[in-house]
């Protein structure tokens, strides 16, 4: 059976309440009945003692029983629904009342319902001077005699219990509906959002406000899930368009040139073939980068840990880029504190790949006559490497995305060769080393990447 949270919660609360109210109503009723009956029995016992005392006085003053001894008690007995029989010392009847007279006039209540009851008598000895001179039999149709007022008192109490029970039920039912709404509404909203997300509507958000911590967390996480799905979706679309663009360009160049050569429109020359070969190499590089990315993303990559001297590693990378930098007339400068060792625990080749990507970006995105500075420093725990250029910089809105796959900033940058994979690879490799990478950039002013790796002590 399918129930909404609200309905289920209300049902549970109301069920518990019905049980609690019924139980307490029954308990209160039983307690009141018992206390009341005990009180009535006490009154009856006192009445019996009073009767015995009365007949003792009669005997004391008359010295014997006569047919009229204590007869005046008959009226009181009749009015109070009990029946008297006076016996002498030999248990012979002196006088007696007919119990049928009271049978139909009394209002006996036993266990809440009116009934005629069974006629019972109790016998009490009348002792005068330590000698039993007679017996008084008190008979009644119920163990506890209740007057009309007594019965209506009990009925009123029972009515009040039932009324307060119903009233409590009603109030709690209303409160439970309001309370359960507090839970059900935000959960319903979040559930609607997640259904929308699962249907591919990634713009769907839940804007419900709740002061219940779990519901607030749920709302926040479903919204951030929506945001992630949305940006992943955008990224995926961009990725497909970028990959197809990257592949299409070299293929088109190759195809057009080869067709022109076959048709004899352009002559087959070493220069032309070299140009075409460059396109094939570019194409191969892209596929290699995609392959590295795939390996890293599928956690297939293994790292070979060893002691790495970051100073030496950076000098070697800078050496590899010196020709490229000179060609572009870019100064490639490395600064480091003297007599300091910058040892870290890591995979030499993979760390080298990180700085190849960062320094090559520095050169790529810096104009002729620019400068790319590499600074290495350390404190007790961290080795910090900064790669700072005075190049074209990165737009503020692009900064958060540059580490995403295939992200290459605005289209105007696409003139500069690249695949948008270098920084993704760098970040992943650093994450495998529990190292971090941060970026600061100002458009047209320059960019600084800061890598922090734990120092080996």
For ligand ADP, the binding residues (CB under 6 A) are: 357, 361-362, 365, 389, 391-394, 402, 407-409, 413, 418-424, 447
Q: Which is nearer to ligand ADP, 81 or 242 (CB)?
A: 242
Q: Which is nearer to ligand ADP, 361 or 452 (CB)?
A: 361
C-beta of 413: minimal distance to ligand ADP in Å?
5
C-beta of 273: minimal distance to ligand ADP in Å?
26
Q: Which is nearer to ligand ADP, 91 or 285 (CB)?
A: 285
C-beta of 269: minimal distance to ligand ADP in Å?
31
Separation of alpha carbons 219 and 206, rounded Å = 6
C-beta of 429: minimal distance to ligand ADP in Å?
13
C-beta of 344: minimal distance to ligand ADP in Å?
22
In 211-347, which residue ranges form alpha helices assigned H by DSSP?
213-262, 270-297, 310-327
Q: Which is nearer to ligand ADP, 6 or 350 (CB)?
A: 350
Environment class of 335 (CB within 10 Å of its CB; exposed 0-12, middle 13-18, buried 19+): exposed
| Residue pair 206/187 in contact by the 8 Å Cβ criterion | no
Q: Which is nearer to ligand ADP, 76 or 410 (CB)?
A: 410
Separation of alpha carbons 293 and 242, rounded Å = 15
Q: Which is nearer to ligand ADP, 423 or 430 (CB)?
A: 423
Q: Which is nearer to ligand ADP, 142 or 419 (CB)?
A: 419
Helix-then-strand count for the chain, H and E: 10, 13
C-beta of 3: minimal distance to ligand ADP in Å?
51
Q: Return the residue matching tokens 């600074």.
A: 375
Q: Which is nearer to ligand ADP, 206 or 366 (CB)?
A: 366
Beta bridge partners of 377: 384
C-beta of 286: minimal distance to ligand ADP in Å?
9
Gyration radius from the chain CA atoms: 51
C-beta of 406: minimal distance to ligand ADP in Å?
8
Dihedral sign from CA coordinates of 17, 18, 22, 25: positive
Q: Which is nearer to ligand ADP, 3 or 237 (CB)?
A: 237
Residue partners of 179: CB distance under 8 A and separation at least 6: 9, 13
| Residue pair 375/209 in contact by the 8 Å Cβ criterion | no
Report residue 388 as tokens. Answer: 């700072």
| Residue pair 444/386 in contact by the 8 Å Cβ criterion | no
Beta bridge partners of 382: 454
Residue partners of 94: CB distance under 8 A and separation at least 6: 65, 66, 67, 69, 86, 87, 88, 134
Q: Count other Cβ atoms within 10 Å, centred on residue 314.
A: 22
C-beta of 319: minimal distance to ligand ADP in Å?
20
Report residue 83 as tokens. Answer: 């029946």
């Amino acid at each position: 059976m399918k129930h909404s949270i609200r309905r289920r919660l209300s049902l549970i609360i109301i069920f518990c309440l019905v049980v609690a109210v019924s139980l307490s109503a029954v308990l209160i009723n039983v307690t009141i009945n018992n206390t009341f009956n005990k009180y009535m029995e006490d009154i009856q016992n006192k009445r019996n003692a009073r009767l015995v005392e009365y007949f003792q006085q009669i005997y004391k003053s008359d010295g014997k029983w006569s047919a009229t001894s204590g007869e005046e008690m008959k009226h009181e007995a009749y009015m109070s629904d009990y029946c008297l029989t006076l016996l002498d010392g030999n248990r012979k009847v002196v006088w007696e009342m007919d119990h049928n007279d009271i049978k139909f006039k009394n209002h006996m209540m036993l266990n809440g319902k009116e009934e005629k009851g069974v006629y019972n008598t109790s016998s009490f000895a009348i002792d005068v001077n330590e000698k039993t001179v007679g017996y008084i039999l008190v008979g009644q149709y119920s163990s506890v005699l209740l007057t009309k007022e007594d019965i209506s008192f009990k009925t009123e109490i029972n009515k009040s219990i039932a009324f307060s029970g119903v009233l409590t039920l009603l109030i709690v039912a209303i409160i439970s509906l309001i309370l359960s709404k507090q839970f059900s509404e935000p959960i319903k909203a979040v559930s609607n959002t997640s259904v929308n997300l699962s249907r591919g509507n990634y713009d769907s958000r839940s804007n419900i406000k709740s002061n219940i911590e779990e519901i607030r967390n749920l709302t926040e996480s479903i919204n951030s899930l929506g945001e992630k799905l949305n940006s992943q979706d955008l990224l995926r679309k961009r990725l497909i368009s970028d990959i197809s663009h990257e592949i299409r360009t070299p293929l088109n160049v190759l195809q057009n040139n080869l067709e022109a050569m076959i048709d004899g429109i352009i002559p087959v020359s070493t220069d032309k073939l070299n140009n075409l070969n460059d396109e094939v190499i570019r194409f191969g590089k892209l596929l290699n980068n995609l392959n590295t990315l795939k390996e890293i993303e599928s956690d297939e990559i293994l790292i070979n840990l060893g002691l790495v001297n970051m100073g030496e590693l950076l000098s070697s990378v800078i050496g590899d880029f010196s020709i490229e930098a000179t060609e572009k007339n870019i100064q490639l400068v490395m600064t480091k504190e003297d007599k300091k060792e910058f040892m870290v625990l890591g995979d030499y080749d993979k760390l080298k790949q990180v700085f190849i990507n960062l320094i090559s970006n520095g050169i790529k995105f810096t104009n002729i006559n620019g400068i790319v500075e590499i600074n290495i420093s350390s404190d007790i725990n961290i080795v910090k490497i900064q790669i700072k250029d005075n190049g074209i910089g990165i737009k503020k809105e692009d900064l958060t995305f540059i580490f995403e796959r295939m992200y290459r900033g605005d289209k105007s940058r696409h003139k500069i060769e690249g695949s948008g994979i270098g920084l993704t690879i760098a970040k992943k490799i650093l994450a495998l080393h529990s190292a971090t990478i941060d970026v600061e950039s100002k458009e047209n002013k320059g960019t600084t990447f800061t890598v922090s790796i734990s120092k080996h002590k």
